[in-house]
């Protein structure tokens, strides 16, 4: 197709954004900011013009996608990794205690000032093992989500905190079920007052 066959542009469709801004400014109009992308106006009478208004639409420019354009968030990375490391140490220290549920329950009762013993120490072992597995899985899931968020360079420090809180609540409920249903512990709780 040579230049004689191509129609003469009437609406600036072949102009660069800089040429369009210069032309708008020369005509006394307000030139759009360089970060705003304008869509081309569709000439009246064309098939596409029936689906659009006659005014141009303005779209915000996309967020930067290159790694150089994104902030590094060094403090966020350090805090996230430190929270994950602290969580790992806590989980690794808690798992052996939870597996030995009778020992855990006795320590808990001593700290709470309850003078009692478990009526069925073997019955709570399954709850302790389940709590230990949930504790480890909760930390692992939190670590995976944190690393994924860090790899996308998103703010991530809050993920270990939320993961720790959610995991702790679930583990606490798992441990409270056998303790609060044990007759020896219930008797000890009633004598505290």
**CA angle 136-137-142, nearest 5°?**
100
Number of domains present in the structure of the chain: 2
Is 167 part of a structural domain of the chain? yes
Maximal C-alpha separation, the chain: 102
Is 2 part of a structural domain of the chain? no
DSSP state string for 93-137:
HHHHHHHSHHHHHHHHHHHHT-----S-TTTTHHHHHHHHHHHHH
Are residues 42 and 104 located together in one domain of the fold?
no
pLDDT on residue 98: 92
Q: Who has greater pLDDT, 192 or 116?
A: 116
Is 65 part of a structural domain of the chain? no
Torsion sign, CA atoms 169, 175, 180, 184: negative
Are residues 47 and 109 located together in one domain of the fold?
no
Are residues 101 and 159 located together in one domain of the fold?
yes
Are residues 78 and 54 located together in one domain of the fold?
no
pLDDT on residue 73: 84
pLDDT on residue 166: 97
pLDDT digits (tens, 9 = 90+) for 5-41: 766 666 666 777 888 788 888 887 665 555 555 554 5
The token pair that represents 70 in the structure block: 């994104």
Q: Who has greater pLDDT, 165 or 111?
A: 165
pLDDT digits (tens, 9 = 90+) for 63-112: 555 555 556 789 999 999 999 999 999 999 999 999 998 888 888 888 88
Is 84 part of a structural domain of the chain? yes
pLDDT on residue 146: 97
Are residues 101 and 161 located together in one domain of the fold?
yes
pLDDT on residue 49: 46
Are residues 114 and 184 located together in one domain of the fold?
yes
- Segments in the chain forming alpha helices (H): 17-26, 74-99, 101-112, 125-151, 158-181, 183-192
pLDDT on residue 81: 96
Are residues 97 and 126 located together in one domain of the fold?
yes
Is 103 part of a structural domain of the chain? yes
The token pair that represents 96 in the structure block: 């052996």
Are residues 24 and 93 located together in one domain of the fold?
no
Rounded Cα distance, 141 and 132, in Å = 14
Are residues 52 and 82 located together in one domain of the fold?
no
pLDDT-based confidence at 130, cuts 50/70/90?
Answer: very high
pLDDT digits (tens, 9 = 90+) for 166-184: 999 999 999 999 888 888 7
> For residues 153 and 147, is the Cβ–Cβ distance under 8 A?
no
Is 68 part of a structural domain of the chain? no
Is 152 part of a structural domain of the chain? yes
pLDDT on residue 62: 56
Provide the residue range defining the domain that includes 181. 74-192
Is 4 part of a structural domain of the chain? no
Are residues 149 and 85 located together in one domain of the fold?
yes
pLDDT on residue 59: 54
């Amino acid at each position: 197709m040579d230049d004689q066959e191509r129609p003469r542009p009437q609406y600036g469709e072949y102009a660069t954004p800089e040429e369009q801004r210069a032309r708008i400014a020369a005509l006394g109009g307000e030139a759009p900011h360089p970060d705003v992308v304008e869509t081309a106006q569709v000439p009246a009478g064309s098939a596409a013009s029936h689906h659009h208004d006659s005014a141009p639409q303005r779209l915000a420019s996309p967020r930067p996608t290159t790694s150089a354009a994104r902030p590094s968030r060094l403090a966020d990375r350090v805090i996230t990794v430190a929270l994950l490391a602290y969580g790992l140490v806590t989980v690794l220290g808690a798992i052996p205690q939870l597996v030995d549920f009778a020992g855990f329950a006795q320590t808990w009762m001593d700290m709470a000032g309850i003078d009692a013993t478990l009526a069925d120490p073997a019955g709570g072992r399954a709850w302790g093992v389940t709590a230990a597995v949930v504790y480890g899985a909760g930390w692992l899931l939190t670590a995976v989500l944190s690393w994924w968020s860090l790899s996308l360079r998103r703010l991530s420090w809050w993920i270990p905190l939320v993961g720790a809180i959610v995991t702790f609540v679930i583990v606490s409920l798992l441990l409270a079920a056998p303790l609060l249903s044990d007759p020896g512990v219930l008797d000890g709780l009633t004598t505290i007052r």
